[in-house]
Amino acid sequence: MKECPQTNNQSVWQHGESVKSYLNDLLKHLIYKEKLQYNWKLPEWIYDPIFIRNIVCNLIDQYALYHDCGKPYCVEYTEGRRHFPNHAEVSYNVYKSVFEDGDCAELIRRDMDFHLLKSVDLQKFSEYKFANILILSALAEIHSNAQMFAKDFDGNPLESIGFKIKWKHTNKRGRQVVEIIKNKNK
């Protein structure tokens, strides 16, 4: 992971460390009400108590760090661009070959689920016991990635077109999942 480039300026390992750092910043803010250390754009629904409950911090740390551990084994180059086809499944298999934590392995396998979530799959996704972790991780990842990929003309990566597109999806789907979970618990 340390030798496989995620981008020109960051290895897969460094990407995992960055996502973990963003995720921990967000968790400290949500759980302990600490001031955020990074520049964030947070949706309102993230503060809903129904969403915050059952957050397992040690599981999140492990997941964030190793969520892309299979990328060195599936990296492909096309016209100078890096691609990691089926990286979530490859990462799941790599993780399972080293660690015994089934919950973390399943999170790794489902790493792309929230990023690719469509409205027809909302109900099923909402039933997954760690849906909130996948959502928090996606939110942390788009913020982490914005720092390395996207800079607008004023230097604010949270104003870039790429970030705004990903944030809009994250906000919309996250709000929908929280509503489904709230309605289920009424």
For the chain, the structural domain boundaries read 5-184
Whether 149 has a pLDDT exceeding 70, the answer reads no
**CB contact burial 44-64 (16+ within 10 A = b; e otherwise):** ebbebeebeeeeeeeebebbb
Q: What is the mean pLDDT of residues 66-75?
A: 95
- Whole-angstrom distance, CA of residue 69 vs CA of residue 88: 9
- Whole-angstrom distance, CA of residue 96 vs CA of residue 91: 8
Give the pTM: 0.84
Non-local (6+) Cβ contacts of 117 within 8 A are 125, 169, 173
Q: What is the mean pLDDT of residues 73-85?
A: 93
Q: How confident is the model at residue 152 (pLDDT cuts 50, 70, 90)?
A: low
Q: Which CA distances in Å does 33 have to 30, 36, 39, 175?
A: 6, 9, 16, 21
Residue 167 near residue 143, CB atoms below 8 Å: no
- Structure confidence by residue, pLDDT tens digits, 94-104: 999 999 989 99
